[in-house]
Amino acid sequence: MSRAIPRRALAAATLALTALAVPPAAPAQAQSTAPGAAVRHEAGARISTAYDLPGDRVYPEGIAADPRTGDIYVGSYATGAIYRAAPGHRAARVFLPSGTDGRTTANGLKVDRAGRLWVIDSTAGVAVYDLRDRSLIARFDVPGGAEPFVNDLAITPDGSAYLTDSKRNVVYRVTPRQLARAAAHGGRAALTTAYDLRGALPADPPDAVRLNGIVADPSGRYLLTVDMTAGALYRIDLASGAVRQVALHGGDALHGDGLELRGNTLWVVHNATNTISRWRLGGDGASARMERRVSDPALQIPTTLVRSGGRTLVVRSQFDKGGPMGPGTPQTPFTVAEVDGI
């Protein structure tokens, strides 16, 4: 029997997607289409179902791959449950049930090299679990102040986690030392702000939901994060803290949600338009050129993707089918897609 989305999760999701319901700000000036740019727009891709998620009100949002085992983890924005899908098995199973450690919503997920699963609760912070026994290692809470919306995270080569806040427009940091200290002293600590992007982002509209997906340069030099309302990318220098807008050629990052970076190839998921774009980064991450874009209703409001085992796995949220983006009835089971051709 279907259940209504928990009130707190619905309110949080509605807040996160408010920007999708109004005309966005004009694309940033740094975005341009170079004459003769070899960009293949709206090209078809093969979209199939990789995994089925149990439950009729899942509304998945985040996805992560364990680089050691190939297991895939998916979070439910509607309930906070976490699912695990094993290689060779289409059906995912519940890994952490709804309500685990008080969590009723989950969005950003990441598995680090030490075998720890990071799970964001947009209204509370982030929890870190040991994948071996599912035990909670530590929780990091959003500090008091303006209304938060913790959204996505990336992990740098030194093991530090960086998390975006879509309402405060800051990036939090959790270092390995902070994690170890929290685990040794009660398992709880506060998130600390590493970078404040409010001065770099457009001022209008004032209540826009902005920072969303975030990725780390494999060499550990910088982070990239997307302003989903303005369609811009920003580069954060990890050594100096300098923030600069990335010059985009051939398109923009409007409605940008999850990001994935492999080498100098960047994928951007554009949720409201059922689109995935692929970009080639310049050597220092200061520019990017779109190489390919795929739009297809079969993506069912994609929220993020992960590259694992040579596959591109995309979360199909169906947020517009009875979820936070509109009324209706979702197609069940909820699924994770495999997209070949992007």
Reported pTM: 0.89
Distance CA 262, CA 249 (A): 19
pLDDT at 145: 86
Distance CA 171, CA 248 (A): 22
Kindly give the confidence (pLDDT) of every residue in the chain, 342 residues in length, as a single tens digit, with 9 standing for 90 and above: 333 333 333 344 444 443 333 333 333 333 333 333 334 445 579 999 999 999 999 999 999 999 999 999 999 999 999 999 999 999 999 999 999 999 999 999 999 999 999 999 999 999 999 999 999 999 999 999 889 999 999 999 999 999 999 999 999 999 999 999 999 999 999 999 999 999 999 988 888 899 999 999 999 999 999 999 999 999 999 999 999 999 999 999 999 999 999 999 999 999 999 999 999 999 899 999 999 999 999 999 999 999 999 999 999 999 999 999 999 999 999 999 999 999
| SS3 label, residue 19 | helix
Distance CA 197, CA 168 (A): 9
**CA 269 distance to own-chain centroid:** 9
CB under 8 Å to 3, separation ≥6 — which residues? 57
Residue written as token pair 């319901």? 21
pLDDT at 42: 55
Report the helix count and the strand count for the chain, using DSSP H and E.
2, 26
Distance CA 131, CA 81 (A): 15
pLDDT at 203: 84
CB under 8 Å to 106, separation ≥6 — which residues? 61, 62, 75, 76, 77, 80, 81, 82, 119, 120, 121
Distance CA 211, CA 8 (A): 21
Number of Cα atoms under 13 Å in the Cβ half of residue 84: 14
Residue 32 is given by DSSP the state: B
Distance CA 199, CA 191 (A): 21
Q: Which amino acid is at 76?
A: S
Provide the H-helix boundaries in the chain. 7-16, 176-184
Give residue-wise pLDDT tens across range 207-226.
889 999 999 999 999 999 99
CB under 8 Å to 103, separation ≥6 — which residues? 80, 119, 121, 124, 127
pLDDT at 43: 57
Residue written as token pair 């990036």? 171
Taking the CA atoms of the chain, what radius of gyration do you get in angstroms?
18
CB-CB contact of 214 with 153 (8 Å)? yes
Residue written as token pair 């995912």? 92
Which two structure tokens, joined as six digits, stand for 13?
Answer: 């999701």
